[in-house]
C-alpha cells in the first residue's frame, strides 16, 4: 500500500507528540488546530467549488457562483415567495418578471405542483359533499 501525505504526516505528528509530556499534548493540538483553520479556509476559497468540502470545511454557495453554473430563465410568479437553494435566497414577487438561475425556477415549479396537489386533496365545501339526486332515504 503506497504511503500518502496524510499517513506520513500522521506518523510524524504521533512521533513528535510521543516526545512531549502528556499534560502538554492537549494544548499543542488545540494551538495547531486554531492555526490551521485560517490556512485551510484560504486554500478552500481558492481551489474548491461551491458546496465542496475540503479539510472538513464546506465552501458556501453564493448567488454569483450559481449564476455561473445554471442557465438564466425568465418567469412570472403567481405569488410572492422566497425561494432557497443551498442556503442562497431569491425573493420573487407576484406578477413581476424574474430573470433568475434555473435552480430557483425548478424549486418554484415544485412548490406550485405540491401546492396544487395539496389543494386537490382537501375536501370540498367545508368537509362534506352534496350529491344531487340522493336524499336522506339513500342512507338507510
Tell me the average confidence (pLDDT) per consecutive run of 10 residues in the chain, 140 residues long. Answer: 69 82 80 73 66 76 90 93 91 93 93 84 52 47
In the beta sheet, which residues pair with residue 90? 83
| Whole-number pLDDT of residue 121 | 64
The reported pLDDT for the residue numbered 98 is: 93
Q: Where are the domains of the chain?
A: 8-58, 63-121
Give the per-residue pLDDT at 138: 46
- Is pTM beyond 0.85? Reply is no
8: left (phi over 0), alpha (psi -120 to 50) or beta: alpha
- Say if CB 125 and CB 119 are below 8 A apart: no
Contact 73, 92 (CB under 8 A): no
- What confidence tens digit (pLDDT) does each residue in 58-90 have? 788 889 989 999 999 999 999 999 999 988 999
pLDDT of the residue at 27? 82
| Cβ atoms of residues 59 and 51 within 8 Å | yes
Nearest residue to 103 (alpha-carbon basis) of 118, 121, 89, 124: 89
Nearest to 86 by CA among 108, 102, 63, 109: 63
CA atoms within 13 A on the CB side of 27: 5
pLDDT recorded at residue 116: 84
Are the CB atoms for 44 and 57 separated by under 8 Å? yes
Amino acid at each position: 500500500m503506497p504511503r500518502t501525505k496524510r499517513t506520513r504526516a500522521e506518523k510524524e505528528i504521533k512521533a513528535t507528540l510521543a516526545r512531549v509530556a502528556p499534560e502538554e499534548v492537549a494544548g499543542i493540538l488545540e494551538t495547531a488546530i486554531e492555526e490551521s483553520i485560517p490556512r485551510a479556509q484560504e486554500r478552500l476559497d481558492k481551489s474548491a467549488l461551491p458546496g465542496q468540502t475540503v479539510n472538513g470545511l464546506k465552501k458556501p454557495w453564493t448567488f454569483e457562483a450559481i449564476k455561473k453554473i445554471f442557465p438564466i430563465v425568465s418567469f412570472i410568479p403567481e405569488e410572492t415567495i422566497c425561494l432557497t437553494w443551498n442556503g442562497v435566497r431569491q425573493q420573487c414577487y407576484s406578477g413581476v418578471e424574474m430573470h433568475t438561475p434555473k435552480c430557483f425556477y425548478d424549486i418554484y415549479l415544485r412548490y406550485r405542483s405540491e401546492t396544487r396537489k395539496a389543494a386537490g386533496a382537501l375536501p370540498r365545501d367545508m368537509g362534506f359533499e352534496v350529491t344531487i339526486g340522493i336524499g336522506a332515504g339513500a342512507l338507510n
